[in-house]
Amino acid sequence: ERLPELLRRMPKAELHIHIEGSLEPELMFEMAQRNRVALPYASVDDLRRAYDFSNLQSFLDIYYAGAGVLITERDFFDMAWAYLQKARADHVLHTEIFFDPQTHTARGVSMETVVNGLHRACEQARAQLGVNASLILCFLRHLSEEDAFQTLEQAMPFRDRFIGVGLDSSEVGHPPEKFAKVFARCRELGLHLVAHAGEEGPPAYVWTALDVLKVERIDHGVQSSKDPALMKRLAQDRIPLTVCPLSNLKLCVFPRLQDHNLGQLLDAGLVATVNSDDPAYFGGYMNDNFLRTFEATGLTAAHAHRLAVNSFEASFIGAAEKRKYR
């Protein structure tokens, strides 16, 4: 079988997707119209032209502005449903979806509206698409730990509708340890723990995500290759990295896709995975990430198989379920 066909068709899990980052410009304009929200762009093309980023912050500014069109439960449902259909088309059997409630509650949209809309799409995906989808609540790290605690409090009535918590937004200057107390509380609650670290930030942030927050996975983590002791730790403890190659390219973490270190991480024995991050903004869903990265870096069918296996190993599905995907 040709490598592109193998990449397209192989069953896979997605573990790093921000649902707000799956909102395509066309749907964003539709929601802006039906909710009577003004967008600072004249057209879909005008908006797409703004997707020319120099770093993480230049993306986040536009991403948070775009999320301003999401008002009703139907909006959250429609956004997630559109993503889940793309996931099915890319042979994603299992997906763990990040959402950023603070982006919405700060605008007066209730936690209930956000969670119910997303949850309903996840339920429908299981029933109609055969895609297993769960939610992970992310705290925005540019906000305070107290704000994160309030968000956790607001989410507690919906505790059974998300499987874990994460940490995202502006990394540099907001190290993981800023959220030590709220992650300790989430751990007591039995939530799964993940955090973005080592996307733009230093290896030191990956260390504290592991040792202070006690996360089970690192989101991105590509800067880890600068620290041999950290590479050893990640390999020995089988800490997964949810790598997002097209995101790294668009946010200038690597100058060119052929410079990406995914192959280096895999060859060092790390449990690296491929994910889309914010597919509507970064130019591709799962299979686009696989195909373009393999094309640019010359990874092999053995790497493809390893990435598929890693994606299920790194997931939070139960041990019994997991054996089915091996």
User: Quick check: 96 binds ligand HPA (CB under 6 A)?
Assistant: no
* Complex with ligand HPA: residue 223 or 304, whichever CB lies closer: 223
* Complex with ligand HPA: residue 56 or 84, whichever CB lies closer: 56
CB of 219 to Zn ion, least distance (A): 5
Binding positions for ligand HPA, 142-171, rule CB under 6 A: 168-169
Q: Are 101 and 111 in contact (CB under 8 A)?
A: yes
Q: Are 47 and 25 in contact (CB under 8 A)?
A: yes
Binding positions for ligand HPA, 166-185, rule CB under 6 A: 168-169
What would the two tokens of residue 291 be?
Answer: 């195909």
Mark whether 313 is an active-site residue: no
* Complex with ligand HPA: residue 202 or 269, whichever CB lies closer: 202
- Residue located via tokens 């390219």: 249
What's the CA gap between 249 and 262, in Å, rounded?
A: 12
Binding mask 53-92 for ligand HPA (x = CB under 6 A): ---x------------------------------------
Residue 303 phi, psi (nearest 5)? -65, -40
User: Quick check: 96 binds Zn ion (CB under 5 A)?
Assistant: no
Nearest-CB residue to ligand HPA?
Answer: 168
Radius of gyration of the chain (CA): 18
- Residue located via tokens 């007066």: 108
Ranges assigned E (strand) in the chain: 12-18, 92-99, 132-140, 164-168, 192-197, 217-220, 241-243, 272-274
Binding positions for ligand HPA, 229-248, rule CB under 6 A: 247
Q: Which of 73, 171, 199, 200 is catalytic?
A: 199
18 belongs to an annotated ligand binding site? yes
Angle (CA) 236 237 239, round 5°: 115
Residue 303 touches which member of Zn ion, ligand HPA, none, C-beta under 5-8 Å by kind? none
User: Quick check: 102 binds ligand HPA (CB under 6 A)?
Assistant: no
CB of 244 to Zn ion, least distance (A): 6
Which of 7, 21, 207, 294 touches ligand HPA (CB under 6 A)? 21
Residue 75 touches which member of Zn ion, ligand HPA, none, C-beta under 5-8 Å by kind? none
* Complex with Zn ion: residue 39 or 241, whichever CB lies closer: 241
CB atoms within 10 A of CB 269: 14
Q: Are 289 and 30 in contact (CB under 8 A)?
A: no
Pairing, β 92-99 against β 164-168: unpaired
User: Quick check: 24 binds Zn ion (CB under 5 A)?
Assistant: no
Q: Which residues are CB-neighbours of 130 under 8 A, at least 6 positions away?
A: 88, 93
What's the CA gap between 196 and 176, in Å, rounded?
A: 9
Which of 81, 215, 277, 290 touches Zn ion (CB under 5 A)? 277
* Complex with ligand HPA: residue 148 or 304, whichever CB lies closer: 148
| Binding site per annotation, positions for substrate | 278
Active centre residues (catalytic): 199
Contact residues toward Zn ion (CB under 5 A) are 277
